[in-house]
Structure formats: C-alpha cells, structure tokens
Amino acid sequence: MDIEVRKDEHIEICLAEAVEAERETTWLEYVYLPHRCLPEVDPEDVGLEVDFLGFRFSAPIMVSAITGGSSLGFKINANIAEAVEKLRLGMCVGSQRIALEKPETVYSFKIARERAPTAFISANIGFQELRRYSVDRLIELVESIEADALTIHLNPLQELLQIESKPTFKGLTSKIGEAVKQLRIPVIVKETGAGMIREDAVKLEELGVKAIDVAGLGGTSWSRVEYHRAVRWHNYLKAGVSKAFWDWGIPTAASIIEVRSAVRSARIIASGGLRSGVDIAKAICLGADMCAVALPILKPALRGPHEIEKILRILIEGLRTAAVLTGVSRIDELKKVKPIIAGRLAEWVNERGLKG
Ligand SMILES: Cc1cc2nc3c(=O)[nH]c(=O)nc-3n(C[C@H](O)[C@H](O)[C@H](O)COP(=O)(O)O)c2cc1C
C-alpha cells in the first residue's frame, strides 16, 4: 500500500476510533504527590523553565511525533510548529521515511522549521529504516529540516501487527550505535506506546543515546490502531492477533521508574497517555526531565495553532498548579519531591527491585 495513504489512514483512525489502551492505564493513578496545605509559594513565582539538549524550554513539555508526508501532514506540522514557537516549547516531526521514499514530500516536514525558526525541533525515523538507508541519507533528512536532534522510534509491536510489514529486528541495536557515532546532533530514542524496561535503557545509554522517550502504555495503542486498519482491509488474521495486544507493554509510570533506575546522564522524556498537568507533574517526580504528548494534539492540529496553544496552556497551568500544591517553585525542586507510590505500581517496583 502507498505509504501516503497509510499515513493518512493512521490519522483518520486516530480521529475516528477509540485508539487508547483498553483495560490498562499509565499507572500514574498509583502515584500520589504529597499535597501541601500550607504551600508558601505563589503561582506567579513558579518558574517552569528547563534546559533540554541545549535549549531553554518555557516548560518541560513538547509535542511528540505525529505525522508528515501529505498535505494533511503539512497542515498538522505547520500548526504544531507555530504553537510551540509561540510558547517556547518543542516538537518532533512524524516519521520521515516517506521523505526518503518520495523526496517530493519533504515540504510537509520543512514547514516545521519555517514556522518554528527558534524552537527545538527533532527529526524522526523508524529503527527499521536504519538498515534500509545509509547514515548519509539520515543526515540529509536532519539537514532538510535543520533539526536540533534526531529521534529514532522503536515500534516493534506495530511492525509485527501492521498488515503490510514483514519486519526483521536482528542487528538493529548496533545500527542505532552507528547512527549515534556518525551524527553531529543528539540522538533521542523513543518507543511509541509500549514503554521500556531498564535492560533496554541501559543498552541505549551505552550506545551514546542522549535522551530516551519511554512512550509507555496507557495512551495511544498502536496495536489498536492497526486492529482498526486490519478490520478495514478485511484481514481477519492481523485483526485477531492485534486485539490481544491492545494493552501490551509497560505502563508509562513503570517505564519512567525503570528507565530512571538505568540511566546516568541520558535525559528522560516521559510520554504515553499524559493528559493533564497533574500527569506531567507526577512524571517529573518519578524522574522525567521532559514530557511529551501526541494524541491530544491531533484534533486541535487540524483546527489551527490557537487550538493547540489552548491544550498546551492547560497542561502548563496544570503543572504550575501542581507545583504550588506540592510547595515548590522550580522544576528542579519538583524533581526532588518524593512521590507516594501505591497499588500495582508499588508491587511492580518491589518485584523488579527498583527504587520508586
Ligand atoms: C496519529 C499519530 C501518529 C504518530 N506517528 C508517529 C511517528 O510518525 N513517529 C513516532 O515516533 N511516533 C509516532 N506516534 C507516536 C507518538 O509520538 C507517541 O509516542 C505515542 O502516541 C504516545 O503518546 P500519546 O499517548 O500522547 O499519543 C504517533 C502518534 C499518533 C497519535
């Protein structure tokens, strides 16, 4: 199937169908922040700025990879870029594989830099592409949008369930290492909604990856998206298998704790089902340096930059409110607040021998 059609089909399904994990959540509901009824901090004194990969963000929030490659992708990237430039946040463009296959689609990614001349922008490619294309081609991709980082996404679950994929995974880890060595900009590695455990985070840091985006379970479920596609294409086998994996993966809260316990200097991006400023505050307390959202931005991105701005401002103000209520006035201080970990997350931490 034409890659452009497939990408627009993903967008269409994410807009029309239920695509989030069905029974599982992020497990952030098991994280409690110590509420301070005597806060001694005023909202206007709370500073949310953070430094991330050489950029000063107004808050630890970015828009995760969504799309590109079609006129719809052009519109989405343009609107996201405009919003993040205005708010001094950052973004990652969607997979640029299509630009490697069809160079005429580069315009739909380039627009991000045009609309966000000073914001942090990451390029994006799937780990499968590391085998198909040379590092020189990746450098071209990065340069085509004057990106500040390259994000390599790991989506083995989706690749296994997608109707047209025949994935092979052997040898891909070392390909990530080769890309890290040859690129002059930081490499971020992200999952896409199934999360991460410490063993893989250790490997990624050893390869020299500068930031790890856990993209955990509890938000967009790519097995659920691919299930809907398989049903549309009457592929009963892929539909049947996909259904069993709607809730597969490591919940976002557990993923953050796993990765935090593994890395020394790599920065951690929390994502996967973050839907409020409270979720973001909890993710930071668990050890995230940056937070990212995708699905909540999709509908607003079709309406315009102001609609995206509204969603992002709600997240920012929610985070500010959570900071006041935990009695802190800086993100660095929020990181030091000790969250209370309960229920299944506490069992997980215990079972895995992690420090919560
Ligand atoms: C419509 C849509 C398209 C996506 N496309 C990409 C992509 O091209 N590359 C990528 O790395 N992640 C992609 N993602 C995954 C997100 O970046 C993110 O990791 C995941 O959706 C979890 O975040 P969320 O629960 O906030 O949506 C996409 C997500 C959505 C909703």
- Expressed in angstroms and rounded, the spacing between residue 192 Cα and the centre of ligand 1 is 6
pLDDT over 80 (residue 356) = no
- Cβ proximity of 272 and 219 under 8 Å: yes
The pLDDT tens digits for 1-32 are 678 888 889 999 999 999 999 999 999 999 99
Map out the domains of the chain as residue ranges: 3-351
The pLDDT tens digits for 106-126 are 999 999 999 999 999 999 999
3-state DSSP assignment of residue 352: coil
275 lines ligand 1 (CB under 6 A): no
- Mutate which of 61, 63, 66 for ligand 1? The one with the most ligand atoms within 8 Å of its CB, which is 66
Please name every residue paired with 90 in a beta bridge, in sequence order, or none if there are none. 62, 120
Nearest atom, ligand 1, residue 68 CA:
8
pLDDT cut 90: percent of the chain above it: 96
The residue-averaged pLDDT of 231-245 equals 96
95 lines ligand 1 (CB under 6 A): yes
User: What dotted CATH number matches 3-351?
Assistant: 3.20.20.70
Distances (CA, A) of 193 to 160, 169, 222, 261: 14, 18, 7, 20
pLDDT over 80 (residue 283) = yes
Pairwise CA distance, residues 58 & 20, whole Å? 29
31-32/340-341 β-pairing: antiparallel
Cα angle 300, 191, 343; round to 5:
90
Q: What share of the chain is helix, strand, coil (3-state, %, to 5)?
A: 50, 15, 35
- Expressed in angstroms and rounded, the spacing between residue 191 Cα and the centre of ligand 1 is 9
3-state DSSP assignment of residue 213: strand
- Expressed in angstroms and rounded, the spacing between residue 295 Cα and the centre of ligand 1 is 7
The pLDDT tens digits for 76-106 are 999 999 999 999 999 999 999 999 999 999 9
The residue-averaged pLDDT of 297-301 equals 98
Pairwise CA distance, residues 23 & 93, whole Å? 29
